[in-house]
Amino acid sequence: MSLTIRPLNSGYIPTKPLEYWYHFSCKKYVEKMGITNESDQLPDMTFLIEGGDQLILVDTGMSWTEHADKYHHGPSLQRPGIDDIESRLAQVGYKPSDVDIVLFTHLHWDHIFYLEKFTKARFICNEVEWDYAHNPVPLHYKSYCRPIIAKDGDVTCGDQFIAPYDQPGVYERFETVKGEVEIAPGVSVYESFGHCPGHMTVVVETEEGPYFCVGDSVFVMGNIDAPQEMQDELHYDICPPGRYVDIVAAWKTVRDTVRRCKEAGVDPHKHLLLAHDVILSAAVEKYEDSHDNKLPVIGKKDTDFVFDEYKTAIIDKDARKAAKKAEPKKRGRKPAAKKAEPRVQEVYFEFDGKQVEAGQVVSLIEQAYKNEGHQIGRIKDLKVYINSEEGKAYYVINGDDGEGKYIEL
């Protein structure tokens, strides 16, 4: 038996790095690393475990965009037919009804939607988490999708507002565990409290050693590494996360996670699978674009998903983001972009008191194209017409009949 893991992204959620990613005491140290508090979209990853006698899914992901924006965390994004868990499973050849077990790292809203579609699955979470999810303090009502936050006429599941795990036909199939438990051969869970009262981590044994599906217990990879100056001045051994119900438990969990990796002889930077890992998400997107929309396999020795190669995708992504924000030093002509990647750099349009840079227009068009279910890497030719009177950018991609397609500026 050889277990492997597929990363499935269920959408994107906005966060502020200095509030969510890191504890406030880390602020001056992470700012020196170039991290600001500007809102950034984080992915919302789930993980499919294949190769055993049972098909196992770790978390089911976030809700649809409108619900997420209204009740939880906006502006979020879940592209219909692309990011929802049913579509992601279809991308690798499965239906929700094929899944035998769903393991929940915790029961926050961005990890538990669409449960009614998993008609044959056992649902398993930590005992403490199950109890708290049904009686949280008001601060956490939104996190746990409690009915008290509903408004007249709004729907979460079926024809009523109800937490996904409390739906009839779902509630009865939930099981709870505590401590460290083997769920199936090669798959076990252990308690990793702190982010929430009953968080748990899923460990998957593979040919490449164990992988740890840590949910939100490690919020970003930067949590496991304290900058040297922080170590010297504060004596911190980690860079603690900013989202927690118990900072002591959260701190100990990060320590314990790193310890487990070291004892297993694996690099935590490669073997921790975070729910909101922008590096992994960018790597997966790059893989999809270059492999005809296929998703990579993790944990297999002969996999073509070489993470050291694909993780540079986040560097490219961040560089493009930084370039868009930077004020130009000159407005002169720049070298022509490559033919296969239509880019016009540092050209500005001014109308109605607005100033719009050409690169921003292209990025918005690319996002609109991706939201339609296409891959950005397939854009070979892009023609754009700016209508300043309407405040719109009309476009045609790859010579297709794009009449009427536009973005608002």
Q: How many CB atoms lie within 10 A of CB 50?
A: 18
The pLDDT assigned to 405 comes to 80
214 and 128 in a common domain: yes
- DSSP sequence for 195-238: SSTT-EEEEEEETTEEEEEEETSS-SGGGG---HHHHHHH--SS
Cα-Cα-Cα-Cα torsion 69, 73, 74, 76, nearest 10 degrees, comes to: -90
The pLDDT assigned to 106 comes to 98
Q: Determine the residue type at 247.
A: I
**φ/ψ of residue 36, rounded to 5:** -115, 180
99, with CB counted inside 10 A (0-12, 13-18, 19+), is buried
The CATH number linked to 56 is 3.60.15.10
333 and 302 in a common domain: no
84 and 130 in a common domain: yes
184 and 159 in a common domain: yes
297 and 379 in a common domain: no
The reply to whether omega before 164 is within 30° of 0 (cis) is no
The answer as to whether 12 is a domain residue is yes
**φ/ψ of residue 20, rounded to 5:** -100, -45
- DSSP sequence for 361-376: HHHHHHHHHHHTT--G
Q: How many CB atoms lie within 10 A of CB 257?
A: 23
300 and 333 in a common domain: no
The overall average pLDDT reported for the chain is: 87
Q: How many CB atoms lie within 10 A of CB 398?
A: 13
Instruction: State yes or no: pLDDT of 24 exceeds 50.
Output: yes
For residues 241 and 219, the answer to whether their CB atoms sit within 8 Å is: yes
- Give the single-character DSSP code of 328: P
For residue 136 the two structure tokens come to: 């949280």
192 and 214 in a common domain: yes
User: E strands along 293-408, which residues?
Assistant: 348-351, 354-357, 382-387, 392-397, 406-408
The answer as to whether 233 is a domain residue is yes
251 and 385 in a common domain: no
The predicted model gives 62-66 an average pLDDT of 95
Whether this prediction's pTM lies above 0.85 is answered by: no
Q: Higher model confidence: residue 315 or residue 139? A: 139
Domain range enclosing 82: 4-314
163 and 128 in a common domain: yes
Roughly how many angstroms between the first and final C-alpha of the chain, as a whole number? 53
**pLDDT (tens digit per residue) in 71-115:** 998 899 999 999 999 999 999 999 999 999 999 999 999 999 999
For residues 86 and 95, the answer to whether their CB atoms sit within 8 Å is: yes
The predicted model gives 149-159 an average pLDDT of 81
176 and 238 in a common domain: yes
Number of domains in the chain: 2
Distance CA 99, CA 106 (A): 18
- The residues that bridge with 77 in the sheet, in sequence order, are 12
The predicted model gives 195-213 an average pLDDT of 97
Instruction: State yes or no: pLDDT of 345 exceeds 60.
Output: no
For residues 183 and 192, the answer to whether their CB atoms sit within 8 Å is: no
Single out the residue in 314, 336, 371 at which a domain terminates. 314
388 and 310 in a common domain: no
The pLDDT assigned to 159 comes to 80
Largest separation between any pair of C-alpha atoms in the chain: 66
The pLDDT assigned to 151 comes to 80
| C-alpha 34, offset from chain centre | 21
For residue 157 the two structure tokens come to: 């599941």
